[in-house]
Amino acid sequence: MGVHTKPKMAELEITHLVQVYDTINELWGCEDAIIAGDFNADCSYVTNEEYKEMRLIKDKRFKWLVNKEEDTTVSDSNCAYDRFVIVGKSIKKDLEPSSVGIFNFEKEYNLNRKQALLVSDHYPIHLQVEK
């Protein structure tokens, strides 16, 4: 499931992802899922108090893979906007935990900030699922 929440609505939209997943699971019998994208779930868009109370955090079926302490933005901020959330027994079993990461292309290709921003204002996130 791809997601890009509206920054000012991030907390509410993220909370509703539990309902979206439950509906998809009911309609298609899809227990395993990866919810990925720009959650805007950090810094000024979602407070620490809101973060702790979100259903997608509190519901133990869901596992967040990119930590809040990570930085997925090219800007001078230190925000973990981009995330993976997984749900389902098989995907949790098949996930290669050490594969979850952020590709800092700015550093990797020795770009200055201006050059990096021409590529994107976010660093790509990645993971590997073994089967």
pLDDT tens per residue, range 74-105: 988 899 999 999 999 999 999 998 999 999 99
78 backbone dihedrals φ, ψ, rounded to 5°: -125, 80
Range of the domain at 63: 7-129
Q: Is residue 2 part of a domain?
A: no
Q: Is residue 107 part of a domain?
A: yes
Q: Which residue has the higher pLDDT, 52 or 86?
A: 86
Q: Could you tell me the two tokens for 31?
A: 């227990």
Whole-Å CA distances, 81 to 22, 68, 125, 130: 23, 8, 10, 25
Q: Is residue 92 part of a domain?
A: yes
- Binning pLDDT at 50, 70 and 90, where does residue 3 land? very high
- Binning pLDDT at 50, 70 and 90, where does residue 17 land? very high
Name the domain count of the chain.
Answer: 1
Whole-Å CA distances, 100 to 72, 84, 95, 97, 127: 13, 9, 9, 6, 4
Q: Is residue 52 part of a domain?
A: yes
Q: Give the CATH number for residue 76.
A: 3.60.10.10
- The distance from CA 69 to its chain's CA centroid, rounded to whole angstroms, is 12
